[in-house]
Amino acid sequence: MFRQEHSAFQLSAGFHFRELFLGMLIALLMVALLYYRFRSVALRHLTRHNQGIAMEAIKDMDSQTFKRLLGEVHMPSWMTYPDYERVGWVNTVLGQLWPRLDSSLSALASEMLRPVLAENKPSWMHSVKLERFTLGDRAPTITGVKVYGSDHSIPSEINMEVDFAWNGSQNMELFVRPVPKSMGPATVFAAIISQIILLKVGLDRVIMRGKLRFSWKPLMDEPPCIGAVKVSFVDMPSFSFDLNMYGGDLTLLPGVEMWLTSIIKEYVLGPYCLPESWMYPFVANANLFDRPDGMLFVTIKEAKDVPQMDWFNPSDPYVTVWTRAKHKFKTQVKENTLHPVWNEDFRCLVHVPDRQKVTFELYDYDVVGQADIIGEAHVKIRDLKVNEKTDIWLPIKNKMPAADEKGDHKLTRAARRWLRKAKMNSNLKALRADFDKCALHVELAYIRFDEDHIQAALGVHNETRRRASTERPRSKDSHRAELSARNANILEDVDIVDMLQGGILLVDVKKTINLVHKPIYKGGYITKTHATVKVKVAGETKLTPTGTGRDASINERLEFVLSGSTAQDANALIEIEVWDFKWINDRKGSKKVPLQDIVRGRHKADQYVLADARHGQITLEFTWIPLLENR
């Protein structure tokens, strides 16, 4: 009897010791994870705090102090390069102007960010709302200025490069509902949960370094003496920011920092990096566009070992390609294949070959919802041999928002490692394939515009302008036939001359008017529409952001690069359609404008009545800018 009780006591005691051991082990693991988490956050905040102190200190630091503290590395441009100047008075003026600039720029940025955040939210996010945005009371610091003009004795333009550092006090507050929209029976449940869970995320204290380029051109002999100003980032600025969640831990939203980083890079800074820019004209019809340096001929041949993005069906792949984000080209969709063959040709203009690259993005088309991005590949233009073809297989890499090369994004890198281990993309969607073998077969040829190209294009251009006043416009085929005949002894490929003889069409979509037949106080049951304008020119289609209301304000500029044969085509049309994609694809009306009316008149602004509709108008402004305008 005594032995049985003793044995039972040993088993009972052993059982409790095992539970104690497991509990202590779990507790130690939790402590280690918390230590790693808070250590990473503390190091990041300490690094950013030191960066902020350094940026504030360099305002009044002399050259000897710089050399004593930093040695010969990390020196500001005004000390490293003799053609850069240190202009302290500019910082004084900027500091005086900043309260006014903060008020106006914050309002403009808020208006721009709201649709960008809503239209590019991750799949795991039900909704996002920008509650507050301000640039803060700290102005950027100008650390160096370089001014240079054109190579002529009497310059036709003035260029200024400005190095800046910004230890700002910006603040952006977002309300995020992290429950995704579901389909089927779970839709109602997801909608209820999304109304319960509301998280407030704050983005604060952006630290940024970069270089801006200002261009004043053309210079004129009459007031205001400057036709326009153009501002752009020379390279993508390096930046970092503090991110916090009010009333909770940011680890509850592991993808939000990468999402915000990609939004800042792709939609806030990217549209203003060379060759893109922000432009403001001082005189009407000023030519604000630089003549391109050359043309990139792209042939997308095929892809192999395309990952299967869906559980049960092969992918439906297609490719987008561009050298400028505003001008993307898309191949056809190849259904149910992991080895698609396209053999499609595209032409991309190149303005800054030393800094531009050609980007390929491989997608899996979905009938319902947005297409899934499979991966991407890049080729720098400067790595291509001029006037030679390059046949290459490009490995397709999973698109993940990379940590900033010059900044410090420890949390972002940790999140990226976590996503890779979990086999998820930046939208927290499971990756069901191996990307190591996927590759894209392309052929590239970069042709630089030389004087023969320009003179050949000018010859046809001047002849076309002479005929325009006496003859009817010709068809696209007859124009290209004459172009080939005139330049048979100069060029083997007339596409270059044809493109130089073309230009840029700007379509400014201002607003839609009276799309709703009756307001609610007159018996109408639809109070507003969600208007999206689709513009199609020469086979290229672009969409505006969605405007909401009975009279929807859109204010979006769409840019089309057109060849000479398209510009001189008598039958070419600018096709405008107004759609409401909110619930069903409801076409509200359309309008067709002859392209020749814009090419000949150079500028036209009007309010058009929509066809195929009982009511509604649209306000549009068109501008045509030839590529050889200043020649």
Is the same domain home to 527 and 416?
no
> What does the H/E/C string look like for 341-367?
EEEEEEEEEECCCCCCEEEEEEEECCC
Are 245 and 364 contained in the same domain? no
Q: What is the pLDDT of residues 139-175, one digit of tens each?
A: 998 888 888 876 656 678 888 999 998 988 888 999 8
Tell me the percentage of the chain whose pLDDT exceeds 90: 21
The vertex-199 CA angle with 198 and 202, nearest 5°, equals 145
Q: Could you tell me the CATH number of the domain that includes residue 546?
A: 2.60.40.150
Residue 525 has pLDDT above 70, yes or no: no
Measured between alpha carbons, how far is 499 from 292 in angstroms, rounded to an integer? 10
- Enumerate residues 6+ apart whose C-beta is below 8 A from 126: 177, 178, 179, 180, 181, 190, 194
CA distance 47 to 225: 47
pLDDT > 50? residue 380: yes
Closest C-alpha to 543, from 529, 526, 531, 528: 531
More confident residue, 88 or 214: 214
pLDDT at 477: 56
Rounded to whole angstroms, the Cα distance separating 51 from 58 reads: 11
pTM, to two decimals: 0.69
Look at residues 247, 281, 315 and tell me which one is the last residue of a structural domain: 281
Residue 130 lies in a domain: yes
Separation CA 58–CA 497 (nearest Å):
51
Round the average pLDDT of the chain to a whole number and report it: 78
Residue that finishes a domain, picked among 225, 250, 281: 281
User: Encoding tokens for residue 429?
Assistant: 């969607």
Residues 240 and 131 in one domain: yes
Which of 38-52, 158-172, 181-195, 469-483 reaches the highest mean pLDDT? 158-172
Residue 574 pairs in a beta bridge with 537, 593
557/229 Cα distance (integer angstroms): 18
Between CA 118 and CA 129 the distance in angstroms is 7
Of the ranges 41-45, 210-214, 349-353, 609-613, which one carries the lowest mean pLDDT score? 41-45
**% the chain with pLDDT above 70:** 70
Angle of CA points 445, 451, 455, to nearest 5°? 110
More confident site: 87 or 394: 394
d(CA 558, CA 543): 8
What's the domain range around 110? 67-281
Q: What pLDDT, in 10s, does the model give residues 288-308?
A: 677 788 889 999 999 999 988
Residue 539 has pLDDT above 70, yes or no: yes
Do residues 259 and 390 both lie within one domain? no
- 257 pLDDT exceeds 70? yes
Helix (H) or strand (E) holding 241: strand 238-246
518 vs 451, higher pLDDT: 451
**331 Cβ contact list (under 8 Å, min separation 6):** 300, 318, 319, 320, 321, 342, 344
Examine residue 111 and state whether it is found in any structural domain, yes or no. Answer: yes
User: Is the domain of 134 the same as that of 185?
Assistant: yes
Task: Report pLDDT for 378.
Answer: 94
Whether residue 49 is found in the same domain as residue 89: no
- The answer to whether residue 75 scores a pLDDT higher than 70 is no
User: What is the per-residue pLDDT for 111?
Assistant: 85
Q: Do 47 and 78 belong to one domain?
A: no
State mean pLDDT over 401-414.
41
> Of 112 and 85, which is predicted with more confidence?
112
pLDDT digits (tens, 9 = 90+) for 541-587: 888 888 877 788 888 888 888 988 899 899 999 999 998 877 777 88
* DSSP output for 198-214: -EEEEEEEEEEEEEEEE
**pLDDT beyond 50 at 222:** yes
Task: Say if 289 falls within a structural domain.
Answer: no
Q: Which residues pair with 33 in a beta bridge?
A: none
Q: Decide which of 404, 427, 444 is a domain's last residue.
A: 444
Structural tokens at position 563: 């060849």
Which pLDDT band holds residue 409 (cuts at 50, 70, 90)? very low
> Domain count of the chain?
4
- Considering the domain architecture, whether residues 44 and 190 belong to the same structural domain is answered as no
Work out the average pLDDT over 86-110.
88
Between 461 and 343, the more confident residue is 343
Judge if 425 and 500 occupy the same domain: no
Per DSSP, the three-state class of 127 is strand
Tell me the angle at which helices 451-468 and 476-486 cross, rounded to the nearest 10 degrees. Answer: 130
Q: Report which of 257, 252, 203 is spatially closest to residue 413, judged by C-alpha positions.
A: 257
Whether 93 is in a domain gets the answer: yes
Q: Residue 466: inside a domain, yes or no?
A: yes
Instruction: Say if residue 492 is in the same domain as residue 603.
Output: yes
60 has a pLDDT exceeding 70: no
Rounded distance, CA 488 to CA 507, Å?
Answer: 35
According to the model, what pLDDT value does residue 401 have?
Answer: 45
Task: Let me know whether 315 and 413 are in one domain.
Answer: yes
User: 309 and 378 share a domain?
Assistant: yes
**Does some domain include residue 7?**
no
User: Is 1 inside any structural domain?
Assistant: no
Report pLDDT for 214. 93
Instruction: Say what the pLDDT of residue 580 is.
Output: 85
Which of 539 and 383 is assigned the larger pLDDT? 383
Residue 410 banded pLDDT, cuts 50, 70, 90: very low
505, part of any domain: yes
